[in-house]
């Protein structure tokens, strides 16, 4: 398992990443990864309730559907988080059907709780989450159009709707961990 603990935007984060074994059902594989992450978080004084984002990579569409449904069953209540998921078989080892990246946040000094916003109607993913002055967004895509030129305005409109739906945000320029781009948005 890959583990990284790091400060970012005035908060402390835990990043966990690993891929499944390819054994049992897709649901078993997904559950196994999330329970492994839960054990690791417990050793750090955290739980799945502290998860703010997950990102999942799957082998194909059937695995994508089953693993997303299982993730939704496990990450309920305070464990809800924003997420994204991708079909990307080349990112996986030869046996794994799924890989998960998980980002958890230590409780902010302010004592603030997660503020979660669902899509209407609710979907597998949260629309957005704020915690400790940071805004987290689920991945936004458009599978109704064939080309990027057609998808782009739909995605931008969805992001605009998310940010304008009762969410006060301020753009901040920071170097996002693990990237070379300046990409973070902070909630005020």
- Report which of 16, 80, 74 is spatially closest to residue 42, judged by C-alpha positions: 16
- For 37-90, write each residue's pLDDT tens digit: 999 999 999 999 999 999 999 999 999 999 999 999 999 999 999 999 999 999
Per-residue model confidence (pLDDT) at position 37: 98
Residue 17: domain span: 2-187
177: which strand partners? none
Least confidently predicted of 5-9, 16-20, 156-160: 156-160
Per-residue model confidence (pLDDT) at position 162: 75
Domain count, the chain: 1
Neighbour order of strands in the sheet with 51-58: 2-8, 11-19, 98-105, 51-58, 82-87
Neighbour order of strands in the sheet with 169-171: 115-118, 126-131, 134-137, 185-187, 169-171
How many Å is the Cα radius of gyration of the chain?
17
Tokens of 151: 């998808």
- Which CATH number does the domain housing residue 178 bear? 3.30.1330.40
pTM across the whole model? 0.83
Per-residue model confidence (pLDDT) at position 60: 95
- For 103-133, write each residue's pLDDT tens digit: 999 999 999 999 998 888 888 888 889 999 8
């Amino acid at each position: 398992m890959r583990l990284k603990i790091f400060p970012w935007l005035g908060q402390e984060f835990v990043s966990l990443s690993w891929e499944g074994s390819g054994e049992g059902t897709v649901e078993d594989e997904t559950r196994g990864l999330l329970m492994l992450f839960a054990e690791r978080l417990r050793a750090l004084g955290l739980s799945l309730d502290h998860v703010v984002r997950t990102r999942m990579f799957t082998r194909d569409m059937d695995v994508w559907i089953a693993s997303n449904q299982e993730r939704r069953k496990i990450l309920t209540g305070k464990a809800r988080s924003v997420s994204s998921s991708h079909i990307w078989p080349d990112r996986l080892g030869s046996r794994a059907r799924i890989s998960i990246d998980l980002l958890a946040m230590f409780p902010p000094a302010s004592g603030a709780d997660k503020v979660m916003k669902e899509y209407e109607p609710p979907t597998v993913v949260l629309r957005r989450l704020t915690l400790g002055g940071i805004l987290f967004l689920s991945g936004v895509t458009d599978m109704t159009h064939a080309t990027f030129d057609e998808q782009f305005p739909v995605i931008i409109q969805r992001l605009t709707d998310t940010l304008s739906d009762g969410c006060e945000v301020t753009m901040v320029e920071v170097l996002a961990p693990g990237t070379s781009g300046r990409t973070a948005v902070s909630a005020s």
